[in-house]
Structure 1
Amino acid sequence: MSDMNTDFFQRKLAEFKASQGKLKAATEMSTNSLHASYEISLLVAKAKKPYSVAEELILPAAVKLAERMADKKAADAIKTVPLSIDTVCRRIDEMAGDILEEVVDKLKQAGLRYSTGTSQLM
């Protein structure tokens, strides 16, 4: 009876450790996908291209490259990068807001007053 209990708990411990590894891998994949999404959105903004270029051209091209140069696993990982038009638009807007906030903070530190309604420094 004691051996059965020990075996049961050892199996459960092994299952738990395996599930932790899977969760960690999924979280890392998600974090990498998120960072890649921001980086590609920034490239789209800098190139002044339509937001749709990420979903319609960049993502399929990256998948093809990964399939040819690496393997299917790499291509599948690339497919998890969120690059829909709405996502790219939201990321660019978020980054623009962050930049505006930084500029306003720097102006305040410099002792200048900034009005967001106009483009005049006071």
Structure 2
Amino acid sequence: MAKRRYKEEFLTVGFTKAVRNGECVLCGEVLSNESMKINKLDRHLQTKHPLHRDKSKDFFICKEESFKKQCFDGGKVFKGNRGALRASYQVSLHIAKAKKPHSIGEQLIKPCLKDVCLSVLGEDAANNIESVPLSNNTVASRIKDMSADIQKTVTEEILQHK
């Protein structure tokens, strides 16, 4: 069976080719090659994301950029799991809100999380914590990414109301 080619019009219904061909920018779901038809992609949008079905292509372009940032880390495809990446952003947000040094993630939070997981959930869960990137530079980068996203969103909202 031939591989379907990605078409730019797929972005109008929320699908990109950021990492793999045909990923939903809203939920990250990858559809099969047979589903790479505009009507099937539109059905995914309407059934899984009904609140976003009337959004403009610009909205999905913004979501695509955000999605790419989640999938790529420093120009390389993020090889860890998405849960670890999401956790890294969540912990970085807490560090920023608490106005603590970025190094606290790796020096205090990660060891505490590993201890808690080891005591409550077992060794496998504690080992999974190791995959959460929380270095000083990573936390700083995550905070910078989130700040840029907030600034971009605010700017877009201001421009829409003019």
Could you say which TM-score interval applies, normalised by the shorter chain? 0.5 to 0.7
**Counterpart pick for 1:70 among 95, 113, 121:** 121
* Structure 1: 4+ residue segments shifted above 6 A: none
Quote the offset at 1:70 in angstroms: 1.2
Equivalent runs, 1:1-122 vs 2, <5 Å: 30-111=81-162
* Larger Rg belongs to: 1
Q: How many residues align?
A: 85
Alignment partner of 1:82: what SS? coil
Bigger fraction of residues in strand: 2
Task: Calculate the TM-score normalised by the size of structure 2.
Answer: 0.50
Distance in 1 (alpha carbons) for counterparts of 2:154 and 2:98: 22
Which gives a bigger RCO, structure 1 or 2 (Cα 8 Å, sep 6+)? Answer: 1
Unaligned runs of 5+ in 1: 1-26, 112-122
Write the letter of the residue equivalent to 1:43.
Answer: H
Cα RMSD for the two superposed structures: 1.6
Task: Give CA deviations for 1:55-95 in whole Å, capped at 9, x if unaligned.
Answer: 11000000000111110100000111000000000000000
Unaligned runs of 5+ in 2: 1-77
Distance in 2 (alpha carbons) for counterparts of 1:47 and 1:100: 20
Quote the offset at 1:46 in angstroms: 1.0
Write the letter of the residue equivalent to 1:41.
Answer: S
